[in-house]
Chains A and B, each alone.
Chain A
Amino acid sequence: MGALIRLVLFLLVAELVFFVLLRLYLRSLRLERLERQWDARHPDAAGDTAARRAFVARAMTGFERSLKARLAWLVFVLPTAAVLAIVVLVNWR
């Protein structure tokens, strides 16, 4: 029982760390794309300007509800599902 609790805790910590990193990564990709978009649309106001920062901040408001941000929650589902699949394949075949 102690070993099982240790496994669950370890898995949760690993998933949490990876989840945070993945969210940061997805955010970063999106920020970069928005900045490029702004630069392409406003060649005269390209670069790191206050207007671009305002545009990026506005465009990022719905990020939490986007499909990619939601799919990141799979980080908690897939490893657990893999553990269950291994348990079934190894012990009930």
Chain B
Amino acid sequence: MYYARVVMGVLFGIFVFALLDYALPSRETVRITNTYNRLTAIPPSASIFWASDSTGTVENAQGQRDVRFIDTVRPNGRVRVYRNEDTGWVWPPYFKYDSANLQAMATNLQSPAGAPVWVNVSAYGWRMPWLSTYPNMISVRVVEGPNERPVNWPAMLICAVMLALLALLWRMWAQFRQRGQVRLNRWRT
């Protein structure tokens, strides 16, 4: 029983970490090389890594969706492909519905290797080639050079708020237990 509890605890910890790693915004300095949209088949097994159905996405009879993509190159030369989809009012709570504007901005910021324009993009999600999943781009802004890495304060702020909430819930739980004991003793006597 003890080992089962330890295993459950570790699995829960990994799950929470993975959830935060997936849903919190991350920032990366890249150069945009191409923007396009492509008919994409979304397998049911990986549908949680794409926009929800109720965000205004349209699928054709074959279950394919027209998805906007943004190709980028990192300063170290490795590529990173982003998708650009609305999240709407559904999970994760970014409430993004300006993907057309973002695509236009990204297209405007395209640059060749000879005359690079470095941008810092915020995105959430994972790139998993074997599942064909892509991080979803949230915002883009121009930075001075490839070495500039702005502080990811939104993720820090969210983590701080969640930690404070967790501490509060902890205190509330302790108080309820203690007072419950007092009340129980009163009732017994």
A47 to chain B: closest CB distance in Å? 10
Number of interface residues of A (CB under 8 A): 22
**Interface membership of chain B positions 80-115, coded 1 if the CB is closer than 8 angstroms to chain A and 0 otherwise:** 000000001110011111100100000000000000
Q: Does A3 contact B (CB under 8 A)?
A: yes
**Interface membership of chain A positions 18-29, coded 1 if the CB is closer than 8 angstroms to chain B and 0 otherwise:** 000110110011
* Complex interface: chain A residues within 8 A of B154 (CB): 89
Question: Which of B40-48, B125-133, B171-179 is the interface stretch?
Answer: B171-179
Instruction: Verify A3–B95 contact, CB threshold 8 A.
Output: no
> Of the candidates A3, A4, A90, which one forms a contact with B94 in the assembled complex, judged by CB atoms under 8 Å apart?
A90
Instruction: Verify A90–B89 contact, CB threshold 8 A.
Output: no
Please name the residue on chain A nearest to B94 by beta carbon.
A90
List B residues 10-54 near A (Cβ within 8 Å). 52, 54
> Of the candidates A4, A25, A92, which one forms a contact with B175 in the assembled complex, judged by CB atoms under 8 Å apart?
A25
Q: Does A43 contact B (CB under 8 A)?
A: no
Number of interface residues of B (CB under 8 A): 22
Contact A86-B95, Cβ < 8 Å, known A25-B176, A28-B175: yes
Q: Does B78 contact A (CB under 8 A)?
A: no
User: Which of B93, B95, B138, B154 has the largest number of chain A CB atoms within 10 A?
Assistant: B95
A48 CA to B172 CA in the complex, in Å? 23
Instruction: Verify A90–B54 contact, CB threshold 8 A.
Output: no
Contact A90-B175, Cβ < 8 Å, known A3-B89, A6-B89, A83-B95: no
List B residues 141-189 near A (Cβ within 8 Å). 154, 171-172, 175-176, 179, 186
Q: Does A32 contact B (CB under 8 A)?
A: yes
Please name the residue on chain A nearest to B99 by beta carbon.
A91
Instruction: Verify B138–A90 contact, CB threshold 8 A.
Output: yes
A10 CA to B96 CA in the complex, in Å? 18
A37 CA to B97 CA in the complex, in Å? 55
* Complex interface: chain A residues within 8 A of B179 (CB): 28, 31-32
B142 to chain A: closest CB distance in Å? 13
* Complex interface: chain A residues within 8 A of B89 (CB): 3-4, 6-7
A50 CA to B55 CA in the complex, in Å? 60
Instruction: Verify A86–B90 contact, CB threshold 8 A.
Output: no
Q: Could you jot down 13 A-B contacts, CB within 8 Å?
A: A3-B54, A3-B88, A3-B89, A3-B90, A6-B89, A28-B175, A28-B179, A29-B175, A32-B175, A90-B94, A90-B138, A91-B101, A92-B98
Closest 4 CB pairs of A and B: A3-B89, A7-B89, A91-B98, A25-B172
